[in-house]
Amino acid sequence: MVRLIVGLGNPGAQYEKTRHNVGFLFLDYLLLRVGGEWQVESRFDAIMAACGFGGHKVLLLKPQTYMNRSGLSVGKVARYYKIAPEEILIVHDELDFEVGVARLKIDGGHAGHNGLRDIIGHLNSKEFFRLRIGIGRPVSGRVIADYVLSQFSKGEFGLIDHVFGDVGAYIDSIAAGNVDLVMNKLNTAIICNR
């Protein structure tokens, strides 16, 4: 069962619709779907919401610590609510997938993603689920740090909306713990190039 869904991103209006904030954007999509509200939780360095998915209570978390220190917030929430790493889903941007592709996995390293690196350190575990949402790679010569902080084009936002809808259809199953089934369906689906 997944009890905590964490979207990764950076706080602040200047980062709102950037590629690096696709985790935040996905959680905003989920909350809009169920009609909840974000609450500031300064003790956790985060904004949070409690939602019901598939009859299960799930916490949504957007760390407000900036990407590189995401683990601070995730660790505090996990300890306070006694949530095990394998009950956590981290939603983050993925350079290795084109825009319009999303994949679900459990375990693994951080692959250079500083948000994941910090979460692994604070949880002292890699045994959490990851929903990797493709943001594409920059053209040769462009600095990756600048690219991830750039905004999606209008066409790319259309693909992102489709991905959110496709993945959102599985959230009840994920919350209920049917993650292997969802992985099989989602990871073999052709989501891009609508």
- C-beta of residue 44 within 8 angstroms of C-beta of residue 73: yes
DSSP class of 123: H
Which residue among the candidates 20, 56, 92, 110 is catalytic per the annotation? 20
> Residue 25: what are its φ and ψ, rounded to 5°?
-60, -40
Q: For residues 107 and 29, give the distance between their C-alpha atoms in angstroms, rounded to a whole number.
A: 25
> CA torsion angle for 174, 179, 181, 182 (degrees, to 10)?
50
Q: Exposed, middle or buried: residue 189 (CB in 10 Å: 0-12, 13-18, 19+)?
A: middle
Q: For residues 175 and 52, give the distance between their C-alpha atoms in angstroms, rounded to a whole number.
A: 9
Reply yes or no on whether 113 is catalytic. no
Angstrom CA distances, 76 to 67, 70, 119, stand at 16, 10, 11
Question: What amino acid positions are annotated as catalytic residues?
Answer: 20
